[in-house]
Amino acid sequence: MIKFTIATCTWNAAAQLPPTLASIRAQDYPCIEHLIIDGASSDDSLRLLHDYEVQAPANVKVRIVSEPDHGLYDAMNKALRLAEGDYILFLNAGDRLHSPQTLSLVAQAAEKVSQTGSCGVLYGDTDIVDAAGHFIRHRRLAPPEHLNWRSFRQGMLVCHQAFMASVPLARECPYNLHYRYSADFDWCIRIMQMSSQRHMPLCNTHQVIADYLEGGMTTKNHRASLRERFDVMRRHYGLCQTVALHLWFCLRAVIHR
């Protein structure tokens, strides 16, 4: 049976944690590790997390680590080192799994593909919600039927919260701490490159995996994020192709205005 690690990296986010924890507690899938990496919060987070640990159902093994870190991506690297599951999904404070059946449906999709070998990535779609969990819209960029590492030339077609990486691969491919806002974009590309090199398929689960809280870290730091994404694309796809693609992005934005 596939074991999923859900990693939640958090710091002073007590107000945003309850819906995230509730969505994992509600899962009907029998084999879940919930790994919570807290950056030594000074608010009510730890009390809330320990209550959650005590009340967690039998199918959810909760592990809490609370200590200072060097930011979100450093905390994510810590989660990669500690994860005991087969696949890892990062679901941070305010984000939530789409439905109580999400992980069961993802596992069913993975098992159909994994008869011929393990998947490098399980991926799906994302809905955007407000702080109360109300649906706002489907994410504008939709996952392609057949994903590969070159797909991200068109942008981050799969949201980080709907991208489940094989844990053995992910451990070999930590987040690049050079990036403050777009290390997830770079990480997803490198995971897909490694999957291709090892002939591990990328499995489209055809499921909405996550409800993503509008206004995350990248949204709040939009300009700096765009600069970093340009650099990520230049490194992976070359300068000429990256410039040409950005000219097309600008033209497309004008056309659709």
Cα–Cα distances (Å) from 5 to 55, 164, 198, in that order, read 18, 9, 22
Q: Per the domain annotation, does 234 fall within a domain?
A: no
Kindly list the distances between the CA atom of residue 146 and the CA atoms of 17, 120, 150, 153, 207, in Å, as whole numbers in the listed order. Answer: 33, 13, 11, 14, 14
H-assigned helices in the chain:
17-25, 45-55, 72-82, 102-113, 167-171, 183-197, 217-220, 222-237, 239-255
Please indicate, yes or no, if residue 240 is contained in any of the structural domains.
no
* Residue 76 included in any domain: yes
The residue segments making up the domain with residue 169 are 4-216
Look at residue 238 and tell me if it is in a domain: no
The sign of the torsion formed by the CA atoms of 40, 41, 47, 50 equals negative
Is residue 152 a contact partner of residue 188, using CB atoms and an 8 Å limit? yes
Q: State residue 232's pLDDT score.
A: 95
Instruction: Look at the chain and report how many structural domains it folds into.
Output: 1
Flag whether 194 is in a domain: yes
> What CATH code is carried by the domain that includes residue 33?
3.90.550.10
Res 176: pLDDT? 97
> Would you say residue 241 lies in a domain?
no
Cα–Cα dist 185/183, whole Å: 5
* Of 51, 14, 20, residue with least CA distance to 34: 20
* CB contact at 8 A, 133 and 216: no
Q: What is the pTM of this model?
A: 0.92
Give a yes or no: residue 188 inside a domain: yes
Indicate whether 223 belongs to any domain. Answer: no
Please list, residue by residue across 19-55, b when 16 or more beta carbons sit within 10 angstroms of its beta carbon and e when fewer do: bbbebbbebebeebbbbbbbbebeeebbebbeebbee
From first to last of the 257 residues of the chain, give the pLDDT tens digit. 999 999 999 999 999 999 999 999 999 999 999 999 999 999 999 999 999 999 999 999 999 999 999 999 999 999 999 999 999 999 999 999 999 999 999 999 998 876 656 899 999 999 999 888 889 999 988 899 999 999 999 889 999 999 999 999 999 999 999 999 999 999 999 999 999 999 999 999 999 999 998 765 555 677 888 899 999 999 999 998 888 887 766 766 566 55
